[in-house]
Amino acid sequence: MTRRSWHRWQDWTALVIGVLTALSPIVVSTNATALWTLIVFGVLIAATALWSLAQPDSVASEYVHAVLGVLLFISPWVLAYSDLGGASWTSWVAGVLTVAVGLAALPSANAEHRGLAGQH
């Protein structure tokens, strides 16, 4: 059975979220901490999305999405930039969306991992 890579909409969505998060400091006010947090998490989310797209049977990559999303969500409080509205809201929204698409892709990734995808 061949794997169908580059097809899962959740992973494409995660890629877009990652790219937009990494580029968001262009349009939102940041300090040095918020700037680097958004760039690093954006790049990590985009990189794991590429991992998921290339290896659709990788269940771990979907869990990594969820963990990165949670970490991004709490980062305004943990890294003390919650007073920066744009950076904080970017972190919160991108974090929630990243968790959501990571968890939404888990059933499909599990099916691919078990070799059940495409069977009827």
Q: pLDDT tens for residues 31-65?
A: 999 999 999 999 999 999 999 999 888 889 999 99
4: three-class secondary structure by DSSP: coil
| Cα–Cα dist 92/97, whole Å | 9
Q: pLDDT tens for residues 71-102?
A: 999 999 999 999 999 999 999 999 999 999 99
Q: Kindly tell me if the per-residue pLDDT of 26 is higher than 90.
A: yes
Q: Which residues contact 58 (CB under 8 A, 6 or more apart)?
A: 51, 52, 109, 113
What Å distances lie between residue 91 and 79, 82, 100, CA to CA? 11, 10, 14
